[in-house]
Amino acid sequence: MADLSINLAGIKSPNPFWLASAPPTNSGYQVQRAFEAGWGGAVWKTLGEPILNVSSRFAAVSFNGQRVMGFNNIELITDRPLEVNLKEIYETKKRFPDRAVVASLMVEPKREKWHEIVKRVEDVGVDGLELNFGCPHGMAERGMGSASGQVPELVEKQTYWVKEVAQTPVIVKLTPNITDITATAEAAVQGGADAISMINTINSLMGVDLDTWNTIPHVSGKGAHGGYCGPAVKPIALNMVAECARHPRIHVPISGIGGISSWKDAVEFMLMGATGVQVCTAVMHHGFRIIEDMIEGLNHYLDEKGIASVMDIVGKSVHKYSNWGGLDLNYKVVARINTDVCINCNKCYISCEDASHQCIDRLTDENGKEYLKVREEDCVGCNLCSIVCPVDGAIDMVEIPSEHPPMTWNERQAAISGLNSCNVDVK
């Protein structure tokens, strides 16, 4: 059995799976049940001045029979008084001293407000703080959440104010509703953040009812944008984690959040630089006990790979993530259709013909049987045919050795630029 414990900027937990600050961490009852199930940590639902919520609050996108591909909420931070939450945090930490209990915080961008809440929360023995600069709805209209998190100067300043008084590690949770998340991540580092977490939810409107023309969800016939999360956002989150992980001036640990539903998702985030992960939507969909499969799967994976500690995989794929200009233009793959597996549905043919490079031929063999064949010399290796193919193993993407050494766009442009600026004398 591998060692699954992590240490994120000094916050220790027995495994890398934490509950994200969200409805599943609203109360001591929930967090303690989660810890009983095996979760390594929990970021308490955001504390601040207790709010008022609306009804209804959630909506989801289902796609082709898959429920909750994406999830949207317009619920705000805790609606319970701080004292109530603090009492339950204290009791939870006392009962589960080995688990990470992190308090998510959100107050107005005023120094004294941050100082007050940090001191009161730390008094009950939390392991760390997470500053919510990401919540995109409701609170943002009041200058908090993502409204703060979209302005690097505010991120830096508020982080600094927290660090003036904080005794525990400070994680800054970032909004994805920004063009370049590394700008705010760097601001958090400048402000003294011990770690960053990402992503919070993405601005979204889930739909419009075709009969009533109401938004989905709606509140008495009116709607407002919510925060989008769930499996559909995972690629966006993974990219943002990776962009921060490979950024030379963002040198703090990352807690990965966004569509993580399985141990495999967690491994991907950790390989791309996350020290641990936070989960919400998958728990809202399936309950706390998904942690059993996550721990078991991660254990098996590490054992099969011969890796002693999960911390050993953190960041191992970051060096493989580059700018487009650093990719090899001479690398080539082509599609190859295995006719013994292919069911001749023509999905690949249609996709290639209509949307790619028209390099699949429909042919007939000597027995009159139709088959599909890729003209490899015309294939650009886009992967579309293998993506749309409904049969596993019917299309392989095969690497074709290049007669030329690797050549990136950046190298090519440098060569042309160098040639044109001072002609090389090869005479």
- For the chain, the first-to-last Cα distance in angstroms comes to 65
Distance CA 46, CA 48 (A): 7
Residue 355 C-beta: closest distance to other proteins, Å: 16
401 binds other proteins (CB under 8 A): no
The conformational region for residue 393 under phi > 0 = left, psi -120 to 50 = alpha, else beta, is left
Residue 394 C-beta: closest distance to other proteins, Å: 24
Distance CA 168, CA 101 (A): 11
Name the percent of the chain in helix, strand, coil, to the closest 5. Answer: 35, 25, 40
Of the listed pieces 5-13, 128-136, 144-152, 417-425, which binds other proteins according to CB under 8 A?
Answer: 417-425
Distance CA 173, CA 393 (A): 41
416 binds other proteins (CB under 8 A): yes
Determine the residue type at 121. V
* Of residues 341-380, those binding other proteins (CB under 8 A): 357, 375, 377-378
Residue 416 C-beta: closest distance to other proteins, Å: 5
Structure tokens at 19: 């509950």
Residue 363 C-beta: closest distance to other proteins, Å: 17
Q: Which is nearer to other proteins, 1 or 424 (CB)?
A: 424
427 binds other proteins (CB under 8 A): yes
384 binds other proteins (CB under 8 A): no
333 binds other proteins (CB under 8 A): no
Residue from 55, 211, 405, 422 binding other proteins (CB under 8 A): 405
| Size (the chain), residues | 427
Distance CA 103, CA 67 (A): 30
Distance CA 378, CA 23 (A): 52
327 binds other proteins (CB under 8 A): no
Of the listed pieces 53-61, 219-227, 246-254, 404-412, which binds other proteins according to CB under 8 A?
Answer: 404-412
Catalytic residue among 135, 229, 280, 385: 135
The conformational region for residue 27 under phi > 0 = left, psi -120 to 50 = alpha, else beta, is beta
Q: Which is nearer to other proteins, 321 or 331 (CB)?
A: 331
392 binds other proteins (CB under 8 A): no
Cβ atoms of 56 and 219 within 8 Å: the answer is yes
Of the listed pieces 142-150, 316-324, 336-344, 414-422, which binds other proteins according to CB under 8 A?
Answer: 414-422
Of the listed pieces 140-148, 197-205, 348-356, 400-408, which binds other proteins according to CB under 8 A?
Answer: 400-408
Nearest CA-CA partner of 177 in 237, 131, 128, 223: 237
Residue 221 C-beta: closest distance to other proteins, Å: 52
Of the listed pieces 158-166, 215-223, 293-301, 408-416, which binds other proteins according to CB under 8 A?
Answer: 408-416
**Interface with other proteins: number of residues (CB under 8 A):** 21
Q: Which is nearer to other proteins, 87 or 412 (CB)?
A: 412
326 binds other proteins (CB under 8 A): no
Structure tokens at 250: 């963002």
Does 352 qualify as catalytic in the annotation? no
Backbone angles phi, psi at 305, to 5 degrees: -85, -10
Nearest CA-CA partner of 36 in 298, 291, 285, 279: 291
Residue numbers at the binding site for other proteins (CB under 8 A): 329-330, 357, 375, 377-378, 404-405, 407, 411-412, 415-416, 418-420, 423-427
Give catalytic residues, as residue numbers.
135
